Chain A
Amino acid sequence: MTFSFRKQAAALATAMALALPAAAPVSAATPDNMLVMGMRIDDIITLDPAEVFELSAGEISANVYDRIMMFEPENLTKLVGGVVESWTVSEDGKTITFKMRDGLTFHSGNPVRAEDAVYSLRRVVKLNKTPAFIVTQFGWTPDNVDDLVRVTGDGEFTITITEDFSPGLVLNALSAGIASVVDEKLVESHAVDGDMGYGWLKNHSAGSGAFSIQSWKANESVTLVANPNYRHGKPAMDRVIIRHLPEPAAQRLLLEQGDIDIARTLTPDQIAGLAGKEGIVVDDYTKATLIYMAANTTNEALSKPKVWEALRWLVDYDGMANSFLKGQFVVHQTFWPSGLWASIDDRPYKLDIAKGKELLAEAGYPDGFEVTIDSLNTSPYMEIAQSLQQTLGQAGIKTEIIPQDGSALWPKYRARRHGLILARWSPDYVDPHSNADSFAHNPDNRLEAKLTGVLAWRNAWKDDEINALTVAARTEIDLEKRAQLYAELQRKHQTNSPFVIMFQQNEQVARRANVQGFVSGSNFDLVFYRNVTKQ
């Protein structure tokens, strides 16, 4: 029997076509000892805890480093010692002495000493990267930090602040990423030209946390390996792999196929599509990220308090929260997020076009005015901007939306070149002063003062009464009184500032049902992997 060439070729092609699917790998679940997460990690530019200020890097840092003070996943509302066992506060509240925990070791095997904690704080101040202000606000400078932060005994160190701050606030600030304790010996062994290991620590780790960093491939993946000597015991997951999956639809596919265990950045429609899917669970976590609108008061119309008040009545809070933001954001109208100590849930504003018009008329703009809305060009900011354009338009305010990437928006905002701006904010550490200091406190409103990190300054707004209240709240030692001061401050700010706080984030995390123990706290760096197990 003979075959022609054509028949042979056809037979070969058919065989190959049939063999192809048979030989291809069928997707399988991730290994039992490995957690694979899909999320966006393209914001990471460094992993040095003295410099980390981005959301993804902050989260990773929290799992790699133990901090001086910490919120633990077992109780996210209680501040406890991290590498320290106990602390005492001096009578004047300006000196705190910490006692180290015994027997802690770094990933390198080196012991965790008081010297390491002191070195870590001094390093933050001397390198003076962006998050350093969290501790330099206490009066620490590269020149005086060696005297103010020092080892004072065996397993004991002391910090002294020269500015007026409540000790409670100081302890809260020492739970931020900048209070991560690094392995001095290891870091210094990689120091170049006295850079305190800055070049090396950008993409390595030297901590004592539940995991160490095995690799960081920018815009691709981060791989963590479990620390067998962790103080709470070795994590169940030997490895955690965080994959950069920028496309939510791809994240969902991988989750459904079992190629990732947790999908972190799904859109509302992706979440809706997962409803009722067998083997998939969606968890909700209230986060501290806020979305707000602010008015640049260098603009004549936007400098009027009546206009600010009108803006607050011209936002369709519920309409947005119940439609395109459903599940991912809830209405919140004060600068300190709900669910945190000293927060208040007052919600005095709702959409009321008539009231908005009335206030505009009182401000001298019965026919409205023209203004731009500078907004991030991503979802949900664009949708929110469009909703605002519509409701403001109903009261006569004609708006032009200027969508832009963050790299173009932030320089504009910092230079006071915006009109209305739609932006987000999350606290730098879990204390109301973190947000009050930016939303409410502007000690010098002059352009040349260049307080570019302060939101109140960016909007050219200064209120002496609110300034004084912010200072009073940050210095009050008594916790109850301090909480009352913050409640008063939030109410004043809510009704008399160019800020319209609109929404608070609700993170929706989709996971395989067999994955348990993932914890995502209120702040961006309160996400923990160490309790994750697979059933």
Chain B
Amino acid sequence: MTAETTTTTGSAVRRSPSILLGWVRRIGGVIVSLALTFLGLTAITFFIGRVMPLDPVLAIVGDRAPQDVYDAVYKQLGLDQPLPIQYLRFLADILQGEFGNSIQTSRPVLEDLARHFPATLELATLATLLGVALGVPMGVLAATHQGRPVDHIVRVTGLIGYSMPVFWLGMVALLVFYARLSWVPGPGRLDVFYEGIVEPWSGLLLLDAALAGEWDVFWSAFWHLVLPVCILGAYALAYIARMTRSFMLDQLRQEYVLAARAKGLSERVVIWRHVFGNVLVQLFTIIALTYASLLEGSVLTETVFSWPGIGQYITHALFKSDMNAVIGGTIVVGTCFVGVNMLSDLLYRLVDPRTRS
């Protein structure tokens, strides 16, 4: 009897190791890909940081430091070693979970990231949800009403949201909704009176305040989120609506739509089940990209709204040649990109049977 014998039991036996092998390969591939991504990220960030005409020693000692003070810190940072040695030491530290201390905060970088990233996560997640909740229906509506007033309104809205400088939009929004109308509070994550009341657990203020039962803090955090979420959400909305419209129009020209209509299916079924179902994979891609870019931290929005997010953290670190913080932040951002992309890959499998093979 050969291995090719086709009995029911035999084929089940043969398939199991191949499924297992497939999963091992897949997981192995993901791990190798992740390792290479992070190696590349750390190497690029590290070497760019070292060749930039910025001096991390002066960021610590200040520009008036006498030379002996400067030299002591230079040595302490290991900058007297050759670059490859510095990089290897740095990698060894990272592998042990040691990102070092930040120059700008005098605290471990990991602690800083645990404080700044949730601020961005909260903002980016809500902004993306807003963008998806409004942008997708708007895009579908525009596509199904192509050339009609509703289509023009969506396109102009998209154009405005996409082309308006976020910084300017933020300032105008503050002027109107905060200064003139007093509908929302000013910049910051919380009213100053509520600072320190809720012990951070997740760093997400809404969640932490709700878990602590501090509803005054919750509402303060909520209202502080409204304006920056709307500004970032408008950007997300514009992009998502524009792309949804484009994907939908592309599908609406396909013959299967004609066939579905000819079969007498209702327009709702044609649009939402058949056409929309077919653009989902593309939509996931752009939603994932939008979310990842917002998670990277919108520096300008964070600056206008004094939002202590990861974008501001990395930017400040860069200006202070605080390379530990820059690399730590970059790894977080890189992880977000990889994570969100993996998530969108998983979603493809759920919505598109062709990707499951």
Q: Whose C-beta in chain B lies nearest to the C-beta of A252?
A: B179
Q: Whose C-beta in chain A lies nearest to the C-beta of B58?
A: A410
B196 CB within 8 Å of chain A = yes
- Binary flags per residue of A219-246, CB closer than 8 Å to B gives 1, else 0: 1110100000000000000000101111
**A34 CA to B60 CA, complexed, in Å:** 32
B184 CB within 8 Å of chain A = yes
Contact present for A407 and B320 (CB under 8 Å): yes
A247 CB within 8 Å of chain B = yes
Q: Whose C-beta in chain B lies nearest to the C-beta of A413?
A: B63
A25 CB within 8 Å of chain B = yes
A139 to chain B: which residues have CB within 8 Å?
none
**A202 CA to B219 CA, complexed, in Å:** 34
Given A243-B188, A253-B186, A452-B65, A407 and B60 touching (CB < 8 A)?
no
**A328 CA to B219 CA, complexed, in Å:** 40
A319 to chain B: which residues have CB within 8 Å?
none
**A338 CA to B112 CA, complexed, in Å:** 42
Contact present for A20 and B171 (CB under 8 Å): no
A340 CB within 8 Å of chain B = no
B106 to chain A: which residues have CB within 8 Å?
45-46, 202-203, 218
B175 CB within 8 Å of chain A = yes
A301 CB within 8 Å of chain B = no
Contact present for A257 and B179 (CB under 8 Å): yes
B residues 289-324 near A (Cβ < 8 Å) are 303-304, 306, 308, 312-313, 316, 319-321
B residues 97-125 near A (Cβ < 8 Å) are 102-107, 112, 115
- Chain A interface size, as a band, is 35 or more
A309 CB within 8 Å of chain B = no
Contact present for A256 and B63 (CB under 8 Å): no
Given A26-B182, A219-B316, A407-B319, A245 and B187 touching (CB < 8 A)?
yes
A408 CB within 8 Å of chain B = yes
**A203 CA to B112 CA, complexed, in Å:** 13
Given A46-B106, A130-B69, A249-B171, A21 and B183 touching (CB < 8 A)?
yes
A residues 129-155 near B (Cβ < 8 Å) are 129-130, 132-133
Q: State how many angstroms separate the Cβ of B325 from the closest Cβ of chain A.
A: 10
Q: Which of B105, B107, B184, B223 has the most CB of A within 10 A?
A: B105
Q: State how many angstroms separate the Cβ of B322 from the closest Cβ of chain A.
A: 9
Given A45-B103, A247-B303, A254 and B320 touching (CB < 8 A)?
no
B4 CB within 8 Å of chain A = no
B353 CB within 8 Å of chain A = no
Q: State how many angstroms separate the Cβ of B128 from the closest Cβ of chain A.
A: 21
Q: State how many angstroms separate the Cβ of A412 from the closest Cβ of chain B.
A: 8
A303 to chain B: which residues have CB within 8 Å?
none
A414 CB within 8 Å of chain B = yes
- Binary flags per residue of B173-197, CB closer than 8 Å to A gives 1, else 0: 0110011011111111001110110
Contact present for A130 and B62 (CB under 8 Å): yes
**A407 CA to B72 CA, complexed, in Å:** 19
B residues 64-108 near A (Cβ < 8 Å) are 64-70, 72, 102-107
Given A24-B184, A259-B185, A221 and B107 touching (CB < 8 A)?
no
Contact present for A25 and B220 (CB under 8 Å): yes
**A244 CA to B223 CA, complexed, in Å:** 20
B208 to chain A: which residues have CB within 8 Å?
none
Contact present for A411 and B53 (CB under 8 Å): yes
A residues 253-288 near B (Cβ < 8 Å) are 253-254, 256-257, 259
A394 CB within 8 Å of chain B = no
With beta carbons under 8 angstroms apart, the residue of A54, A129, A220 that contacts B69 is: A129
A residues 382-401 near B (Cβ < 8 Å) are none
B182 to chain A: which residues have CB within 8 Å?
24, 26-27, 257
Q: Which of B64, B185, B193, B320 has the most CB of A within 10 A?
A: B64
**A256 CA to B174 CA, complexed, in Å:** 12
Q: Which of A20, A30, A254 has the most CB of B within 10 A?
A: A254
With beta carbons under 8 angstroms apart, the residue of A25, A42, A450, A453 that contacts B316 is: A42
With beta carbons under 8 angstroms apart, the residue of B55, B69, B306, B319 that contacts A410 is: B55
**A245 CA to B196 CA, complexed, in Å:** 19
Q: State how many angstroms separate the Cβ of A52 from the closest Cβ of chain B.
A: 10
With beta carbons under 8 angstroms apart, the residue of A21, A219, A221, A414 that contacts B312 is: A219
A412 to chain B: which residues have CB within 8 Å?
53
Q: Whose C-beta in chain B lies nearest to the C-beta of A259?
A: B186
Q: Which of A30, A128, A411 has the most CB of B within 10 A?
A: A411
**A522 CA to B102 CA, complexed, in Å:** 32
Q: State how many angstroms separate the Cβ of B145 from the closest Cβ of chain A.
A: 16
**A34 CA to B191 CA, complexed, in Å:** 13
Q: Whose C-beta in chain B lies nearest to the C-beta of A128?
A: B69
Contact present for A53 and B181 (CB under 8 Å): no
**A445 CA to B219 CA, complexed, in Å:** 63
B59 CB within 8 Å of chain A = yes
Q: Whose C-beta in chain B lies nearest to the C-beta of A406?
A: B63
B63 to chain A: which residues have CB within 8 Å?
406, 410, 413-414
Given A128-B72, A253-B186, A411-B55, A25 and B223 touching (CB < 8 A)?
yes
Q: Whose C-beta in chain B lies nearest to the C-beta of A423?
A: B63
**A245 CA to B192 CA, complexed, in Å:** 13
**A60 CA to B248 CA, complexed, in Å:** 58
B61 CB within 8 Å of chain A = yes
B178 to chain A: which residues have CB within 8 Å?
27, 253, 257
A428 to chain B: which residues have CB within 8 Å?
64
A31 CB within 8 Å of chain B = yes
Contact present for B306 and A250 (CB under 8 Å): yes
B153 CB within 8 Å of chain A = no
Contact present for A453 and B67 (CB under 8 Å): yes
With beta carbons under 8 angstroms apart, the residue of B53, B72, B107, B308 that contacts A203 is: B107
A214 CB within 8 Å of chain B = yes
**A175 CA to B223 CA, complexed, in Å:** 45
A214 to chain B: which residues have CB within 8 Å?
196
**A412 CA to B53 CA, complexed, in Å:** 9
- Binary flags per residue of A1-32, CB closer than 8 Å to B gives 1, else 0: 00000000000000000001100111100110
State the 10 A-B residue pairs at the shortest beta-carbon distance, nearest first: A410-B63, A218-B105, A202-B106, A450-B67, A411-B55, A130-B65, A407-B54, A21-B183, A220-B308, A24-B183
Known: A53-B64, A202-B106. 11 other contacts (CB 8 A): A24-B185, A24-B223, A130-B61, A203-B107, A217-B115, A218-B316, A407-B55, A411-B54, A413-B63, A450-B67, A451-B67
17 sample A-B contacts, Cβ–Cβ < 8 Å, listed by A number: A24-B185, A53-B62, A128-B69, A128-B72, A130-B66, A130-B69, A215-B196, A219-B105, A243-B192, A245-B306, A247-B187, A250-B187, A254-B187, A256-B179, A407-B54, A407-B319, A411-B53
